[in-house]
Amino acid sequence: MDQRDTPGISPPEGPRVRRFPRLMAQPIDRHLGHRRIALAGLGVLVALVLIGFGVVRVVRLTKSYVDAGPTYHLTYGEIHLDPPPPAWFRGGSVAFLEQVLGGSGEFRSFSALDFDPDHLRLLFKLSPWVERVSGVTKAHPNRVTVRLHYREPVAIERLDDESERTVIDRDAVLLPREDVDPDFLERLVRLSRFERPAEPRPGQLWSQMDPKSGIPVRNERVLAAARLAAYFRERLSLEPTTPPPLPRLYIHAWGECGLYAQVGADLMFRWAEARRNTPSDGLTPEAKWDLLRKFVRERPQAGDQPVSYWKFTGHGVEQIAPEGTGQSANRPDRKSAIRRTGGVPAAASRRNAPGY
């Protein structure tokens, strides 16, 4: 019997067809996947931004509504000053706040929850009466407190025509005279024969023109006079008030940098030397004050007396010739001791006193 080999089955020609194509995984377009992810992320970001904007808007509207409420509302006239202006300041806190904040629209009406404390502090610093602002505090619901250190007048300028103009504090800062009670002005130390301020504006230092640079610089002698006036007022405050411990006090310019202290109408005391680099008497201000106080208290009161000039020494008070006072600010010192306390130069007269 013939044995025949079974012929093999050859695959059909042409492309290979996969069975069950629906169950096969479809190829992925990677570019399309990245694009969809980016779009989805952008959509989430936009949504978050819109939500954040809405939240901020709601918060602002709520804050505006609360700030506008009468509970937190106040005007600049309701700001609390700690301490209040001194008794000699005319008009008290009302006038002071009007002077400092009256021109600022920001604080005419504001909320205690929504204002700039630094800007408020700056406005107070601009006042000539404010030496330092210690702080600005807020308390519930609408109490705003400003802590201040005020400048206090110590001296007033007296001109040759007997008019009085410039008021200064211990740092020789010019102050508005019209803000000070007239009775308080009467008790200030008088300044006489000082060079007029180069820039007579409140809040500025008493300055003079520098001949080299041509710009205003601080007048050092006026500063020394202001410190001396402050010292006099401090010592007078420790004295009994009745009767007055001393008559009215004047401070006169003398020479290049010298100072004379005048007590009443007829007593002139040399307080500081007329020229720089001139040896002083070696006495402290306290020692000079004690000598002056004792001399004035023990001196007989005999009505009108001629003007006499005196200097301080380690032994007490000695009288000097009037030529040494420098009736002119540029006159050289020609001092000559006459004798110890008790005598009066015949040539001196009450009318010649610089501060009389």
Cβ atoms 146, 81 nearer than 8 A = yes
Lowest model confidence (mean pLDDT) among 2-11, 96-105, 180-189, 308-317: 2-11
Specify the pLDDT at position 355.
Answer: 44
d(CA 231, CA 124): 27
Our CA angle for 231, 232, 238, nearest 5°, is 95
Is 226 within 8 Å of 169 (Cβ atoms)? yes
Which residues are bridge partners to 99 per DSSP? none
- Compute the mean pLDDT over every residue in the chain, rounded to the nearest whole number: 79
Confidence at residue 265, expressed as pLDDT on a 0 to 100 scale: 86
Question: Looking at the predicted structure, is the pLDDT value of residue 153 above 60?
Answer: yes
Among 95-99, 199-203, 239-243, whose mean pLDDT is lowest?
A: 239-243
- Range from 77-86, 109-118, 209-218, 246-255 that averages highest in pLDDT: 77-86
Supply the CATH classification number for the domain 73-150: 3.10.20
75, 108 contact by CB (below 8 A): yes
Distances (CA, A) of 9 to 4, 6, 196: 15, 9, 130
User: Which tens digit of pLDDT belongs to each residue from 74-111?
Assistant: 888 999 999 999 999 999 999 999 999 988 778 888 88
Q: In the beta sheet, which residues pair with residue 249?
A: 263
Query: Taking each helix axis from N to C terminus, what angle separates 117-125 and 92-101, rounded to the nearest 10 degrees?
Result: 100
Amino acid found at 233: R
Greatest Cα-to-Cα distance within the chain, rounded to the nearest angstrom: 182
Whole-model pTM over 0.85: no
Residue extents of the structural domains in the chain: 73-150, 155-352
